[in-house]
């Protein structure tokens, strides 16, 4: 499936928004910002994994450049049905949540932060589905006035600091386990129908535990407005997923990297399918609104 990429030297005019909603249902378009503005090698290496995950889920990934003006970015995302905020090797500027910078905190990426904020503003205003991954979770939480733990080992009690290597990296397929909150949207995504998406079912009274990879040294601290905790690391209690509290707006973010394992892990595929499904449902509703208005 072709990836829509807006080139700086040939920025396309925005199509009429109503026209797309008069068409037969196309693949939902999922906007994905470039992961980093200054590290092109990292960005080009990381982004295709997210694009493949969206394609496997039935969506169409749309790359959002970080070097365009806010007006140009808004033109691109106007024709998108959902948002995927990917990981990054930057850290969110602690000034955004009123904290002093830790010596362990990496340099921020202001162009990425600007685009994330524009996309989140648009998504919350128009109820577009949102999925955040790793840095994307942190970006979302700060956007919603939450805070971050800038370096996990500095936050944990000494007896918990070595239980989990949250910076294990992409070479480690399973770094630790997370416990999913029962009754959460994430639990619904992973266990929600008669075909369990994980190995085995989750009988009444049992914990919902998922093995995950891990490539982060920061995590959510205080949870932002309209968000709630959806999963924690079983070994040290670090927050591993958050989700929106509004029942009519799909908002989910995970601290691990499901895009790395969509080829062989059903739980990872289910996360991206949930985003694309929510985007398709929103598109269908908008199509009905346009038809009623014409």
Would you kindly state where each structural domain of the chain is located, as residue ranges? Answer: 28-293
Q: In this predicted structure, what is the pLDDT of residue 24?
A: 60
Per 3-state DSSP, what percentage of the chain is helix, strand, and coil (rounded to 5)?
35, 20, 45
Contact 87, 46 (CB under 8 A): yes
Place of tokens 């991954």: 133
The angle at the Cα of 107, spanning 106 to 110, to the nearest 5 degrees, equals: 135
Does pLDDT of 260 surpass 90? yes
Q: In this predicted structure, what is the pLDDT of residue 158?
A: 76
Q: What is the mean pLDDT of residues 228-245?
A: 96
Does pLDDT of 285 surpass 50? yes
Tens-place pLDDT, residues 193-218: 534 455 444 555 578 999 999 999 99
For the 28-293 domain, the top CATH level (class) is alpha beta
3-state SS assignment for residue 40: helix
Tell me how crowded residue 183 is: count the other CB atoms within 10 A of its CB: 9
Does pLDDT of 234 surpass 90? yes
Average pLDDT over the chain reads 88
Say what the pTM is: 0.87
Tens-place pLDDT, residues 10-42: 333 434 444 455 456 689 999 999 999 999 999
Contact 282, 128 (CB under 8 A): yes
Q: In this predicted structure, what is the pLDDT of residue 156?
A: 76
Eight-state DSSP code of residue 82: E
Q: In this predicted structure, what is the pLDDT of residue 74?
A: 98
């Amino acid at each position: 499936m072709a990836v829509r990429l807006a080139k700086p030297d040939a920025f396309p005019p925005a199509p009429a928004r109503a026209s797309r909603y008069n068409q037969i249902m196309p693949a939902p378009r999922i906007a994905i910002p470039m992961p980093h503005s200054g590290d092109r090698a990292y960005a080009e290496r990381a982004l295709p994994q997210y694009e493949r995950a969206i394609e496997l889920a039935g969506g169409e990934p749309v790359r959002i450049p970080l070097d365009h003006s806010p007006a140009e970015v808004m033109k691109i995302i106007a024709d998108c049905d959902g948002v995927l905020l990917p990981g990054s090797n930057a850290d969110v500027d602690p000034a955004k949540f009123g904290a002093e910078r830790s010596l362990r905190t990496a340099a921020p990426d202001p162009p990425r932060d600007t685009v994330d904020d524009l996309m989140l503003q648009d998504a919350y205003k128009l109820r577009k589905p949102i999925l955040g991954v790793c840095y994307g979770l942190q970006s979302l939480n700060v956007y919603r006035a939450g805070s971050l733990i800038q370096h996990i080992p500095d936050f944990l009690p000494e007896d918990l600091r070595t239980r989990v290597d949250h910076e294990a990296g992409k070479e480690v397929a399973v770094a630790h386990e997370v416990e999913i909150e029962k009754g959460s949207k994430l639990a619904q995504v992973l266990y929600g129908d008669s075909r369990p998406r994980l190995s085995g079912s989750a009988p009444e009274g049992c914990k919902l535990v998922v093995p995950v990879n891990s490539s982060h040294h920061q995590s959510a601290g205080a949870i932002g407005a309209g968000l709630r905790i959806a999963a924690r690391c079983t070994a040290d209690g670090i927050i591993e997923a958050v989700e929106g509290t509004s029942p009519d707006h799909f908002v989910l973010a995970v601290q691990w990297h499901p895009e790395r394992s969509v080829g062989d892990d059903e739980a990872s595929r289910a996360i991206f399918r949930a985003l694309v499904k929510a985007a398709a449902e929103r598109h269908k509703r908008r199509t009905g609104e346009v038809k009623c208005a014409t």
